[in-house]
Each structure stands twice: as structure tokens, then as C-alpha cells.
Structure 1
């Protein structure tokens, strides 16, 4: 007498289909000693029932006017527990592989990033991976659905790829030390600013503005690159190093 699915949440509520013979007139379905919360006699060979709450492995039996069937095993699965995810942010275009750790993850069937769901890859009972779908800039909740239920409590931040509009002032001495303001979009999550590949100290002012101090450089025009977790933007020849006068 097969039963499908043969596992479900310890909180109950799993709709199972039981197939066999002589099932007409089914009067009860038991999960261990507990009665199913709903029983429907579909045909002489099929019955559906909704599992009650429970724990561990129990025998499922069907009772008809002719007697009670042999038990078939049903496995109760606890709700998943999520401990962490990494990385915690990525591009609005999606595509980042996110690793989620916790317990009870071996039966994971879905991971939701806000309203968007993806199918995860189960690594072990304590780890799954999921490829983040595309999403709008900002933070969303992450929830994992397993045979034991759904759990949330973690968040993932979508970051837009930055753009750079202006660098002002656009020139300064080769000795460095020039305070510049970089304007553009998607700058709130800036992780690095470079001038000709050389990192510069910076401060995020807003999503449209970052201030930075130029490092020393070689005379001439250089690229200014602003990076965040989603990518980078380049202001080609955005700043010009000017050599000091000589006598």
C-alpha cells in the first residue's frame, strides 16, 4: 500500500495519497495512533488524507468495513532552521550563488528571495545552495521550504551596478591628497574607489555621491573606478594628475 508523499511536516497538514485495494468505504486513516484530519475516498484503489501533527516515524493504516490495513511508514520532518547565508548581497541582475547553512535542510525544495523562488541544490542536511534570482535594489527576506515546513528570518540585499557621472574637481597634483566628489547612481554600497588602479580612501555620502581623496599618481589622465558588490563603473580619463612646477 504505497503512500505519497511519505514524509511531511511535524506540524501536520500534509496531503497524502494512499493507494491499494478494497479501499471503498474507508472510515478512518490513522498516522500512528492519531486520526487524519481529513479523509476522502477517491476510488476503490485510492484514498487521500491530511496528516495530523506528529514526530518521528509512524505507521499509516486505513480502516474500512472489512478491517484495518497493514501499516506503511510516514516520516515526520521538523521545520528547517537557518543559521546564515553567504554572500548577503549581490547584483539586481541575480546570478550569485548563495550558500545557506542551518539544520533540517536535506528536503529543501524551494528558496524564496522576497516574492521570487528558486530550486536549491542540497549539499547536506546542514547546507544548501541557491542561485539568487533577479530583484529590485534593497533588502528582501529569504525563506527555505522543506518537507517540514517553511522558515525565514534571513535577508539578502540586492545592489544595483553603480554608474559614475562626474568627478569634481577633475584634476589635482601628482602628490595626491585632492578631495574629490564622485556623483552617479548606486553608490550607497560602494566598496572601493581607485584612481589608475590605486585604491583611494572614500566616504559614502549618499546613493548618488561619494567623496574620495586621490592617492599619488603619474602625470596625465587616469581612469576612476567605483565598485560595489554588483559590479563597477569607470569614468575613463575621469581625473588628470598635474605635475608640479619645476625651476
Structure 2
């Protein structure tokens, strides 16, 4: 006589299905010493029940006018605890893989990012990996993990849209570098790198539409300025011109 699922939350409330024979007229279903929160005799071969609260491993029995069945093992599982998530941001389109660390993750069945849910891969009781589903809009969402023991929230993930560069000011400076430049556009708040002609520039995030950068040394002529964030990159072609010093 099997029971499915055979594990559930310590807080109770797990619906289970018990199959067997001669189950007509079921008068009681017990989990250890506790009666089921509720039960229903579906057919002579099936009974459904809702687990009460409990802990550890208990025997589940079904009682009918003909007697009490042999016990089936049911395991109570505590709610998961999540300690960290990484990376904490990624593209609005999703598809990137995130690792979640914590405790009690072995029975995880789903991970929700806001309103969207994905099926995780269980690495161990302390770690999951999951492909992030596409987001609805750029911004932070709560992340929850559901296991046989329940659902736990508490972490957040930020969806990031691809940056766009609309202006670079000033548009020129010496080949020696050191020119302070203001880059404006959209989705710049999670900028991870700024390059001038492929050379990385030190930068400061001002807000979601502005980044301040300092030009690295370069070669005379117009060069591309590229801004990159976790969602991708945008290239401002020939947006900055390096000017050679005078020679006499």
C-alpha cells in the first residue's frame, strides 16, 4: 500500500494519496499518533488525506470496519533556509544560471523569481542551481524556494535590461587619457565595465541614466565607447576622439 508523496512539511498541510485494497468505509487515517487533518475515501483502492503537523518519520495507517492497515513511512521535512544567491542580477530575458545556497534544499521542487517559476537542479541538501526565467520588467524581485517542507523567501534578484548610450560628453580629449567623461543613456545603474577603443576605463555609477568615466590613454582618432552590464552591451560608435598633442 503506497503513499504519495511520502514526505511533507513539519507544519502539516501536505495532501497525500494512499492506494491499496479494501479501503471502502475508511473511518480514520493517522500519522503516527495524530489523526489526519482531513481524509476522503475516493474508492475501494484509494484514500486521500491531509497530514497533521509532526516531526521525523512516522507510520501512516488507514482504519476501516475490517481493521487497521500496516503502517507506511511518512517523513516530515523542515522548511528550507536560504543563505545566499549568486549572481544576484542578470538579463531581463533570463536563461542565466543562478546558484542558491542554504539548508534543507534536497527536496526542492521549484524556485520562484517574482511571479515566474523555474524547476531547479538539486546539487545537495545545501545547494541548488536554477536557470532564471524571463522577467516581466527590469528591477528587483523576491526569490522563494519550495520544498517538501514548505516555502522560504528572503532573497532578491535583480532583472537588468540591456544598456543604451545616448551621449558621451565631452566628445574629445588628449591621447594621454585622464579626461573626465559623462555618459548618459538608459539602464546604466548596473554597469559593469566601460571601455574606450577596447581599453577599460575607471568609472562611477551616478544613477540609472548616468555614468562618469575617466578616459584611459589611447591612439589619435575616433574610437568606440562600450558600456556593459549583466544583460549585455551597447556601443557608441566613434563617440570619443583622441587628439594627439602638438609637435614642434
Q: Name the counterpart of 1:227.
A: 228
Q: Name the counterpart of 1:128.
A: 128
Q: Name the counterpart of 1:117.
A: 117
SS in 2 for 1:94: coil
**1:24: how far off?**
1.3
SS in 2 for 1:234: strand
CA–CA distance in structure 2, aligned partners of residues 18 and 70 of structure 1: 12
Q: Name the counterpart of 1:11.
A: 11
Q: Name the counterpart of 1:43.
A: 43
**1:21: how far off?**
1.4
CA–CA distance in structure 1, aligned partners of residues 29 and 205 of structure 2: 63
Q: Name the counterpart of 1:81.
A: 81
CA–CA distance in structure 2, aligned partners of residues 215 and 20 of structure 1: 75
After the TM superposition, which parts of structure 1 deviate over 2 Å for at least 4 consecutive aligned residues?
Answer: none
Question: Structure 2-normalised TM-score?
Answer: 0.97
Q: Which runs of 5+ in 1 are unaligned?
A: none
**1:106: how far off?**
0.9
Q: Name the counterpart of 2:194.
A: 193
Q: Name the counterpart of 1:208.
A: 209
1:48-197 aligned at under 5 Å gives the runs 48-135=48-135, 136-197=137-198
* Residues 53-84 of structure 1 deviation map (CA, whole Å, 9 limit, x = unaligned): 11111111111111111111111111111111
CA–CA distance in structure 2, aligned partners of residues 184 and 176 of structure 1: 23
CA–CA distance in structure 1, aligned partners of residues 30 and 47 of structure 2: 12
Q: Which runs of 5+ in 2 are unaligned?
A: none
* Residues 179-230 of structure 1 deviation map (CA, whole Å, 9 limit, x = unaligned): 2211111111112111112222222222111121211111111111111122
* Residues 79-103 of structure 1 deviation map (CA, whole Å, 9 limit, x = unaligned): 1111111111111111110001111
Question: Structure 1-normalised TM-score?
Answer: 0.97
CA–CA distance in structure 2, aligned partners of residues 34 and 58 of structure 1: 10
SS in 2 for 1:55: coil
SS in 1 for 2:162: coil
**1:34: how far off?**
0.4
